[in-house]
Amino acid sequence: MTDVLIKGAKVLGDNAADILVRDGMIAQIGSIGSTRSSGERDGARLTVVDADGLVVLPGLVDLHTHLREPGREDAETVASGSAAAAAGGFTAVLAMANTSPVTDTAEAAERVLDLGRAAGLVDVQPIGAVSKGLAGAELAELGLMARSRAAVRVFSDDGRCVHDARLMRRALDYLKPFGGVISQHAQDPHLADGTACCHEGEVSGRLGLPAWPAVAEDVIVARDVQLARHTGSRVHVAHVSTAASVEIIRWAKAQGIAVTAEVTPHHLALGTELLAGYDPVFKVNPPLRPDADRAAILAALVDGTIDAVATDHAPHARHDKEHAFPDAAFGMLGLETALAVLAEVAVRPGLLTWAQLAQRMSFAPARIAGLAGHGRPVAVGEPANLVLLDPDATWTVDRAASQSLSRNNPWHGRTLPAPVVATFLRGECTAYRGRVRGQFDPEEIA
């Protein structure tokens, strides 16, 4: 038996306290000694972690992770993606369904669940496809996936939009009885086809890149909130990137419609001007947007219109990413840098406190996904899913040091704040200073 005593961490960035972890749960919080007289159990080893000056938050939850397995293990596996997640402070991730084969059956969902349990670094919850094969023509096995061991509650054709309104309505009707939610990739394929790769505007015209108008996102968001109102079911808008989408979501919430939304770190921090060098690392779906859109989504995250931050971690092998910009794969890495980017754009400028950041990166994502045991308060009797970060330190991102198998990291070479020091999943240290369990000696954290 091993107990863990975290000494002097600032809980949610507020008052410093000691946290005693026992049997994977938070047993005590307060001023706790580190000797047997303080409550150490007979036969148990006590690991004491000096967390003076560090901030402790509930483990982060990612609503939007691409783990690529099965089918593209050259880009990522569930194990390597779990390692990247743990290194970034996450204790749970939701794995998107656009694998090969697609996660559109109960058996496929259970396979992803089992791969995550075998890795054992974070809880991996599969997302089920809305349509068979992501083809947008016929509903996938929604009910069977929901009733499977994987207990799927979030469904998405991410990478593609559920653009058929009748199919979307049927899916919403079907999911309502068991509390399911559709995470929609809002992209009208008639307005932004498969060649579009740059926000439609001055930059796309100057660079000669196929243009993606913001309205291609906006019209799907507008349609889906109306379908959510009509059916009384839940819609979640993935990777919101436009100012108009924000206003639609704000209106929908004011009407009491069951809509939630997420934004990615890269859409908050990176802008269209970065495409001037045609570097395919910055090709992402939806595309990077101008400053006005970035300001709008940041303001919406701060005021709560946008509920959550999600990484859209999208690893790609070099042979898929290193092409001319229009031909390169969409997507960028995000799990290991998400917390630091949010610290840079929202916490350091005083727009969010650490407690508010926890709301958007832990509490709200867990609530949207229905994940028990995650997004819980740092309180006695709660699971010890925790992340320790250093609010006063900085670190330089090195793609070669990533736990991911892929290297399409847009933050490479940048100095970011608030490095993750340690991540705990049910009391076990899964990551320590960028390394994951098996790469460090447990004695190092004492």
User: Is 312 designated active site?
Assistant: yes
Tokens of 359: 């709301």
Tokens of 187: 């992209």
Q: How far apart are the first and last CA of the chain?
A: 16
| Distances, alpha carbon 99 to alpha carbons 71, 132, 318, 332, in Å | 6, 12, 18, 16
Nearest to 369 by CA among 304, 307, 299: 307
Q: How many CA atoms lie within 13 A of 408 on its CB side?
A: 27
Instruction: List the catalytic residue out of 157, 158, 218, 312.
Output: 312
Between 291-303 and 243-254, two packed helices, what is the crossing angle to 10 degrees?
Answer: 30
For 200-211, letters b (16+ CB in 10 Å) and e give: beebbeebebeb
Residue spans of alpha helices (H) in 176-330:
202-207, 215-231, 243-254, 265-269, 291-303, 318-321
The DSSP H or E segment spanning 106 is helix 106-119
Strand partners, 149: none
Tokens of 366: 């867990």
* Cβ pair 168, 221 in contact under 8 A: no
Radius of gyration of the chain (CA): 21
Provide the annotated active-site residues: 312
